[in-house]
Amino acid sequence: MPTKKIAKKKLDIRSFVCEHRHRVFTCKDGGDACTHLACWEKARLKDLKVLYLDIEVSQLAADFGVCISWCAKERDKNIYFSAAINEEDVALSKKVGRVVTDRRIMKELAEVLPKYDIIVCHYGAIQRGLDIRFIRTRFLKYGIKFPVYRQMFALDTYLLAKYKLDLHSNRLDVIAKFLGAPEQKSEINPDDWILAGYGLRKSVAYVVKHNRIDVDVLEFVHKKLEPYGNLGSVSI
């Protein structure tokens, strides 16, 4: 006899009491709520979908460079999304007489982002970080809709490492080595990076491989550090 599927109860701040047993109060809508909002936020976000994201670019300024590739991974699942430029994309830019090299892969990224609630990056979600600002800029260039303020949230492992650890550097590779990540970031070959910007297949494949390793390392580092910081407190 088939068992009846029981729907998971949605957390309600009016009845939530955190594990630290902080004082509760009665809100104006009725019911009790925990005054420790950090605990409430952490518990609420457990049910949200998390995406690890990393991009590789030709230049660090989005008006002078393009996105060569991007890679994303869903938390705790062997589900990857990725896209990279190719020679056809470069040829199209030459044909139309303006830069549209990464337009296709930005459109593909735009199809993935709305499926998730929180994006995790390394030096990509903070004020001077690269990934989110670069992506938003390229989206705007191509007229692609980007999530508006407080529509999606992000966490930056750079800040977690900076404020919770005491390392000589807060680069992702340094953190990963210190924490003993089973997979380490690969070396960067400048020639391949430059040639990838022209869509050369072999060089693009090199960058894509580097990109995917970064995402795996990012997930490992985040899981190691997340007990020491809140998830999703910054709007993208």
From residue 29, how far is each of 13, 15, 141 by CA, in Å?
Answer: 11, 11, 44
C-alpha dihedral (24, 163, 55, 171), degrees to nearest 10:
-160
**Could you tell me the pTM of the whole model?**
0.81
Q: What is the chain's mean pLDDT, rounded?
A: 86
Mean pLDDT across the stretch 5-20?
Answer: 57
Residue 207 has pLDDT above 80, yes or no: yes
Delimit the domains of the chain by residue range. 1-47, 48-235
Task: Please give the Cα distance from 106 to 135 (Å, whole number).
Answer: 8
Residue 121 three-state SS: strand
Dihedral sign, CA of 51, 52, 56, 59? positive
pLDDT at 45: 62
Residue 150 three-state SS: coil
Alpha helices in 49-130 (DSSP H): 87-96, 103-112
Contact 105, 138 (CB under 8 A): no
Mean pLDDT across the stretch 117-133?
Answer: 91
Tens of pLDDT, residue by residue over 33-70, are: 555 666 655 666 667 899 999 999 999 999 999 999 99
**Which CATH architecture fits 48-235?**
2-Layer Sandwich (3.30)
